[in-house]
């Protein structure tokens, strides 16, 4: 079966705590805190400096992106990614474990997980339950910053896991890929505004199916079982045997769809990196679906 050859996408807090206790953190195992919060709510770097998993480094998604792009969280270049993660002590032979501190359990960690995979790194996992459950289970924390020895990382973009505006636009005609949007139902329908941003209306790309990413998580903040996830895809008539593109607002929660599908044995979900942030600004109006009341310019 396909699942048996896939690298484990999730590790438990118990497994990671035992690895920390056994002194296994180093060139072969690195931990990253990929927390990010809306401006004015929480300060991710400050919280990292106050407490984090022992040995973890801070993965700043604001730094590790294409800062020249007009869109929100676009991928950096191969060179930029390689340089950034190399300075965190990560080489091509490192097992990377990623978590974040969101109250949901997991929010930004799947984005960082997908970034490693799209740049050709296979040995990467998400901490199931996130920092929320690490704390709840009573595992150790530290305020001591991690200072790993820099390593050499070679990034090789895997274009099959990434979709551009032009490719998604073409797909509206060819319909070769199913398109799934991970935002909340209100934002998808256009009945709720996009938060923390001016000038971006809500709604979705024509033909997209809505699967809010929060539904992939249990109330306790853990990823649902593969059986439950598979049933969710079936309920939405998303065929995991067929090609699939995940989208959201800025290419972050779309990665939850990629992770959920991966856990069901489908490792080839592509993410539309620009997502709604780009689509709203570039796409023909007839390709945007919204119940939002028309506003005067």
Quote the pTM value.
Answer: 0.95
Mapping DSSP onto H, E and C, the string for 168-227 reads HHHHHHHCCCEEEECCCHHHHHCCCCCCCCCCCCCCEECCCEECCHHHHECCCCCECCHH
Residue 8 has pLDDT above 90, yes or no: yes
Residue 6 has pLDDT above 90, yes or no: no
Residue 2: pLDDT band (50, 70, 90) is: very low
Phi then psi dihedrals of residue 162, to 5 deg: -130, 135
Residue 295 has pLDDT above 70, yes or no: no
Q: Which percentage of the chain shows pLDDT scores above 70?
A: 97
User: How many other C-beta atoms lie within 10 A of the C-beta of residue 259?
Assistant: 26
23: phi > 0 → left, psi -120 to 50 → alpha, else beta; which?
A: left
Pairwise CA distance, residues 273 & 129, whole Å: 25
Looking at residue 42, what is its pLDDT?
96
CATH number assigned to the domain covering 160-293: 3.40.250.10
- Tens-place pLDDT, residues 64-96: 999 999 888 899 999 999 999 999 999 999 999
- Tens-place pLDDT, residues 186-227: 999 999 999 989 899 999 999 999 999 999 999 999 999 999
Work out the burial of residue 6: count CB atoms within 10 Å of its CB; fewer than 13 is exposed, 13-18 middle, 19 or more buried.
Answer: middle
Pairwise CA distance, residues 246 & 107, whole Å: 15
Q: Which percentage of the chain shows pLDDT scores above 90?
A: 91
User: How many other C-beta atoms lie within 10 A of the C-beta of residue 275?
Assistant: 29
Residue 293: pLDDT band (50, 70, 90) is: low
Q: Would you list the domain boundaries of the chain?
A: 10-157, 160-293
Residue 296 has pLDDT above 70, yes or no: no
Looking at residue 5, what is its pLDDT?
64
Pairwise CA distance, residues 94 & 81, whole Å: 15
248 is catalytic: yes
Mean pLDDT of the residues in the chain:
95
> Which of 3.40.50.300, 1.10.10.10, 3.60.15.10, 3.40.250.10 would CATH assign to domain 10-157?
3.40.250.10
Best CA proximity match to 252, nearest among 53, 32, 31, 35: 35
Residue 140 has pLDDT above 60, yes or no: yes
């Amino acid at each position: 079966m396909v699942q048996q050859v896939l690298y484990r996408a999730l590790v438990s807090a118990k497994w990671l705590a035992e690895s920390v206790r056994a002194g296994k953190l180093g060139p072969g195992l690195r931990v990253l805190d990929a927390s990010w919060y809306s401006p004015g709510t929480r300060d991710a770097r400050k919280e990292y400096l106050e407490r984090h998993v022992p040995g973890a480094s801070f993965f700043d998604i604001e730094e590790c992106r294409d800062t020249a792009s007009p869109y929100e969280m676009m991928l950096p270049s191969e060179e930029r990614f390689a340089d950034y993660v190399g300075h965190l002590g990560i080489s091509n032979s490192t097992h990377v474990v990623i978590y974040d501190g969101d109250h949901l359990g997991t929010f930004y960690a799947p984005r960082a997980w997908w970034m490693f995979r799209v740049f050709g790194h296979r040995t990467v996992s998400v901490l199931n339950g996130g920092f929320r459950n690490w704390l709840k289970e009573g595992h150790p924390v530290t305020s001591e910053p991690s200072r790993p020895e820099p390593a050499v990382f070679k990034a090789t973009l895997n274009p099959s896991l990434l979709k551009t505006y032009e490719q998604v636009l073409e797909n509206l005609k060819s319909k070769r890929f199913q398109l799934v949007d991970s935002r909340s139902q209100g934002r998808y329908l256009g009945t709720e505004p996009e938060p923390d941003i001016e000038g971006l209306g809500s709604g979705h790309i024509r033909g997209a199916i809505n699967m809010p990413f929060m539904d992939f998580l249990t109330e306790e903040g853990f990823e649902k079982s593969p059986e439950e996830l598979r049933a969710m895809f079936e309920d939405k008539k998303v065929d995991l045997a067929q090609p699939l593109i995940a989208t959201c607002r800025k290419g972050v929660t779309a990665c939850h769809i990629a992770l959920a599908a991966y856990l069901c044995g489908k490792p080839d979900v592509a993410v539309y990196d620009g997502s709604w942030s780009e689509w709203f600004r570039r796409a023909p109006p007839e390709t945007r679906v919204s119940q939002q009341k028309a506003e005067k310019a």
